[in-house]
Structure 1
Amino acid sequence: MTDGTPKKTRGWGRPILIAFVVFALLPIGGVLSHAVAPPLTTLLMVGRAVGGSGLDYRWRSLDDISPRLVDAVIASEDARFCEHRGFDMKAIRKALESNAEGRKVKGGSTISQQTAKNVFLWPGRDWIRKGLEAGYTVMIETVWGKRRIMEVYLNVAEWAPGVYGAEAAAHHWFGKGAADLTAAEAARLAAILPSPRRYQAADPGPYVRRRASRVQAAMGTVRNQGLDACVVGSRS
């Protein structure tokens, strides 16, 4: 007796199941490994390097990066970083309401989302990538925690063409290590993050100077209100 299923069809069952399991486990394995080990490289780094931008990527522990830079990127990129679980629902609602009214606003992407995209995915705005980004964001928030997310973010973000991570950025723009950044220098680095291939931190134009001034002022609020406590701990 047979079940009527052709042998060739039945023969595909096991390989398909194995492929599905492998496909499902690869993202989990990547998240678990990068919880303790630095990414060797990212798709963005490889793509930029192939395109001729070069590659300067220097990993540093969060303890070797100035806390001023932590305050600067929280002030600039994600003021509720320590409050949310990967997605800033207030910013998302505001963006949806504004888009419905025909007004263009910042999309509300958090540091956690940017980290997920930078480490595991490719540049772009397609829905497949956004869906994967959401999944990775949930996983790194669950497995890594806030301090590790910030550490990875500061190390893989692009700060100039072919320049990745706070250490490489500090040397590229200011000729010093990331641990020695001043508040003004940290604010300038945060100010160019949205368009690091367009703007300069060392000799900024009027736009970056104005933006950096606002970021530096907001850094005081980050410190005073403990908005960075999930990364640097409480301040006495």
Structure 2
Amino acid sequence: MLGIYFSGTGNSKYCIEKFLQEYDMTSKAFSIEDKQLLHQISQHKDIVFSYPTQYSNIPKILKDFIINHQNLWKDKRVFIITTMGLFSGDRAGILARLLKKYGAVTIGGLHLKMPDSIADEKALKKTLESNKKLITNAEQKIKHAVRKIQDGTPPQDGIGIFHHIAGLFGQRLYFINKTKYYSDKLKISADKCIGCGKCVSLCCLKNIVVKNGVAIPGNQCTMCYRCVNNCPKQAITLLGKRVIEQSKIEKYL
């Protein structure tokens, strides 16, 4: 089995690695940013995806990856893991329907609640112990899902018409434009920025450059929150006006 993931602060990467450890220790996971991935996809029939959901939808960068390489998905057997902070809906089902257009068959889905990574909003913030408990619960759910898959009855989180309706009316209709395009809302404070370039190296879309010692954002942000959560001076915001808490998976392990 091949693992494919997109991850901002490490939640989705952590979950797919735990899944593959339980399923088959020889399997490997690759980021969609990895240049080896396209070759790996051509060598595997069984694939597991893992990604964070945004406004009950797929991150724009992942959707583009699927569409841009649509010829690779025919006859693939897919299991989908999605990580989230709150409402589940049909988040695995969205990717399943997209892959189906290109000939893939989705065998099941798994929704996992993980620590919130939206660093500049107060919503969904939890204590350190509560976030550690989320990790523990996710690990247990992953183990259970692997056993179910091995027994031939994979979990169906987010798959099916009822999940589709819940996701559509629960969130997606109200935020339909949030993930339709890349965001131009990333903000970097010139007063706080020290021009270290960490955000530049982390950005998956090369959306940030350093000029005259200050980082400057572009208009192609996929809202992964890597830069916001890793900036040493908390100079970067996206949805909010100031950083409330920087969150990376390592903080809760």
Normalising by the smaller structure, the TM-score range is under 0.3
Of Structure 1 and Structure 2, the greater strand share is in: 2
Task: State the TM-score, normalized to the length of structure 1.
Answer: 0.24
Task: State the TM-score, normalized to the length of structure 2.
Answer: 0.23
Higher relative contact order (CA 8 A, sep 6+): 1
Select the structure of larger CA radius of gyration: 1
Of Structure 1 and Structure 2, the greater helix share is in: 1
